[in-house]
Amino acid sequence: MPIPTRPFAFDESAGLEEWEVHEILDKDAQSPQKFKNWVGNVAFEPSVVLLVRSVEGARRVVRWAKRCGKKLRVAGYRHTWSDLWNGSGDVIMTFVHPDARETLPYYDPPSSWRTEFSSVSLVPNVANRTPEPGHAFARVLAGTSNNTFREWSAGSGFGLPFNIVVTEVTFGGSVSTICHGAGMGTPTISDLVEEVQYIDSNGDDQVVNDPEELRCAAGAFGFLGVITSVVLRVEPATVAEIRPTQVPLVLAIPPPEGFPLPEIVAKQVKEAGITQADMDAARKEFVRRAEEDHFHEFFWYPYQKNAWLNTWKRRPLTDADKDLPTYPQFGIAEGDFASQGAAAALADNIAKIDSLPGRLQTYAFGLASLAGLPNIRPGTKPMTTRTSEAVHFRGGSQTFPFYGMEWELPVPPSETGEKRDYTMIQRAWWDAITLIYASPNAPLRAALEMRLTNGSSVLLAPQRGNQTSDLGTASLEVFTLLTAPAEEWQEFRQKIIDHWTAYAYELEGIEGRKARPHWNKQFADLRVRGKPMKEYLREDAYTEAFAKFREALESIHSRRGTSVMEARERFSSRLMESYIWDD
């Protein structure tokens, strides 16, 4: 059933057309829609959820909210786990078609759906700055999804060097919360921003395009106002030659030398005849992938003998690269693609069965998930596609809800003459695997994942400081199914960050290099080295960054005739408010 809406009658609606501002209703088509994020762990009853499809409509809604004394937050596909919202009695605004944002898997609305918040267009310059030769600036409206941008890239000859793997998130959201892609040479989406346009607390249009101000504005968590568009640096289209493959777990990200393997893994190594020479070669191959490949992600589904790797290089697009296969099939034969789709659908169904014992569900889910992924053997032809397609391989995990936590760990410098010391990354990966096997009731039921990225210059980026000497960041994620008991999932997360933050601590003497959580994932209920998360973030991980952010945000607002206090009164997030400010 389509989600009901009706034109919103408010004291600013005179002159607006019927399509511009609608109220989204509950299933009874009478009462206001209740709000929940995509997994339902954040839920409350706003006074109204508004579907806004014009910029003028957004301006008027902000003015109306100001007169009513209500806080206002913008929600796209709500693809978050942490509480970045306001609360009961407040206002939620969305630019996304209600049916598209409420149905899993998410999808883009039909092209006939009218909105002013979803498009991409090239602009010649920003504040008298022009793009590098061959590159371009692209204005992306805030409600534009990654999938819409992917389609634009296919026809424009330009693309981003990296992106979030999930196709149905909006650029307004991914910039505001400082999201990232994968690749040791890649920073965050926010680091690509040349300009932010937004509606301030008075309902007026504002622009930020000063590079220093953008370090705050391109990751401000809504404290600027309602973002209407961003300008991103885009580059000429390139080609990715991808070889997703399965390898024995110990050969994917090999353990550090001397690391005590879980008993079952040691048994698998022996049964497979894996030698010390194989392990040594695998360590070199892991470092080679990290150093040389443009993109890299590593997955392990608990209790599976194999891990899944997806790392690849890219090359320039040539005249010979016509009609390249695209997302999501990437040229896979129809029969194979159908089989993989059936396996993925089976995994989705297994994820929802709450009567299975935890370990059995985890094993079955992992087995089906691996069967749903391509496995290209060495020496065979790669899957060739545009980089703008490859970065969304399989579109991310959004076909069913699950819980997730992610931490960004700074990569340490090597003491042996090489650039980076990968031992800590290997240790972090294997500490997680060891803990998974040691947990009797399978609190982690979906996947362990790692991506490698660079640092960031954005003030509140978890990766900030990790661009020092170009060392980079290890982004480690753990996901579980909704069937996992909440207490056991929380206990597992606490145990693994006890490991991860312990050996990242020694790097904290280097300016800015801290272990930090991904803002969109689950983290607020944990402790770091005995400190509640709020204390750790304020006293250790973001002490300097929060101070600089407050100062920069006040400067941005005051130079444009408003104030931080006005912005906080109108656009505050309960969680971020408690971290950033003392009053």
* Helix, strand, coil percent values for the chain (each to nearest 5): 35, 20, 45
Identify the pLDDT of residue 504. Answer: 63
Identify the pLDDT of residue 195. Answer: 99
Asked whether residue 187 is assigned to any structural domain, the reply reads no
Identify the pLDDT of residue 54. Answer: 98
> By the 8 A CB rule, do 138 and 161 touch?
no
Asked whether residue 267 is assigned to any structural domain, the reply reads yes
C-alpha angle 29-33-39 in degrees, rounded to nearest 5: 130
DSSP structure class, residue 395? G
User: Span 1-22, mean pLDDT?
Assistant: 94
Identify the pLDDT of residue 39. Answer: 93
DSSP structure class, residue 274? -
- Structurally, how many domains does the chain consist of? 2
C-alpha angle 552-553-557 in degrees, rounded to nearest 5: 120
H/E element holding 403? Answer: strand 402-410
How many residues are there in the chain?
A: 583
Asked whether residue 202 is assigned to any structural domain, the reply reads no
> DSSP string of 199-224?
E-TTS-EEEE--HHHHHHHTT-TTSS
Chain Cα centroid distance, residue 389:
17
> By the 8 A CB rule, do 118 and 144 touch?
yes
Asked whether residue 173 is assigned to any structural domain, the reply reads no
For residue 299, the domain's CATH number is 3.40.462
Q: Residue 290 corresponds to which amino acid?
A: A
Identify the pLDDT of residue 400. Answer: 81
- Which residue range is the domain that position 368 belongs to? 242-532
Identify the pLDDT of residue 199. Answer: 99
Asked whether residue 148 is assigned to any structural domain, the reply reads no
> DSSP string of 122-151?
EES-BTTB-PPTT-EEEEEETT-BHHHHHH
User: Span 434-461, mean pLDDT?
Assistant: 97
Per-residue pLDDT tens for 351-375?
Answer: 999 999 999 999 999 999 999 999 9
Asked if the peptide bond before residue 32 counts as cis, ω within 30 degrees of 0, the response is no
> DSSP string of 74-91?
E-SS---SS--S--TTSE
Identify the domain boundary among 102, 127, 151.
Answer: 102
pLDDT band of residue 443 (cuts 50, 70, 90) is very high
In this predicted structure, the answer to whether residue 391 has a pLDDT above a threshold of 90 is: yes
Per-residue pLDDT tens for 190-222?
Answer: 999 999 999 999 999 999 999 999 999 999 999
Asked whether residue 389 is assigned to any structural domain, the reply reads yes
CB atoms near residue 133 (< 10 Å): 6
Q: Residue 547 corresponds to which amino acid?
A: A
> DSSP string of 451-520?
EEE--B-STT-TTBTTTGGG--EEEEEEEEETTS-HHHHHHHHHHHHHHHHHHHGGGGGSTT---EE-TT
For residue 49, the domain's CATH number is 3.30.43.10
pLDDT band of residue 111 (cuts 50, 70, 90) is confident
What percent of the chain shows pLDDT beyond 90? 84
Q: Mean pLDDT in the chain?
A: 94
Better pLDDT: 400 or 318: 318
Per-residue pLDDT tens for 292-334?
Answer: 999 999 999 999 999 999 999 999 999 999 889 998 888 888 9
Q: How are strands ordered across the β-sheet holding 21-24?
A: 5-7, 21-24, 48-52, 91-94, 72-74
Identify the domain boundary among 102, 122, 156.
Answer: 102
> By the 8 A CB rule, do 81 and 404 touch?
yes
H/E element holding 286? Answer: helix 276-292
pLDDT band of residue 397 (cuts 50, 70, 90) is low
Query: For residue 251, is it left (φ>0), alpha (ψ between -120 and 50) or beta?
Result: alpha
- The label of the residue with tokens 């919360």 reads 177
Identify the pLDDT of residue 1. Answer: 76
Residues 6+ apart with CB under 8 A from 582: none
Asked whether residue 231 is assigned to any structural domain, the reply reads no
Q: Residue 201 corresponds to which amino acid?
A: S
> By the 8 A CB rule, do 101 and 173 touch?
no
Asked if the peptide bond before residue 131 counts as cis, ω within 30 degrees of 0, the response is no
d(CA 567, CA 204): 12
> By the 8 A CB rule, do 154 and 234 touch?
no
Crossing angle of helices 334-351/358-371, nearest 10°?
A: 160
Asked whether residue 108 is assigned to any structural domain, the reply reads no
In this predicted structure, the answer to whether residue 393 has a pLDDT above a threshold of 90 is: no
Identify the domain boundary among 54, 82, 102.
Answer: 102
Identify the pLDDT of residue 512. Answer: 57
Per-residue pLDDT tens for 158-183?
Answer: 999 999 999 999 999 999 999 999 99
User: Span 277-288, mean pLDDT?
Assistant: 97
Better pLDDT: 416 or 411: 411
* Token pair belonging to 292: 């040389």
The rounded radius of gyration (Å) of the Cα atoms in the chain is 23
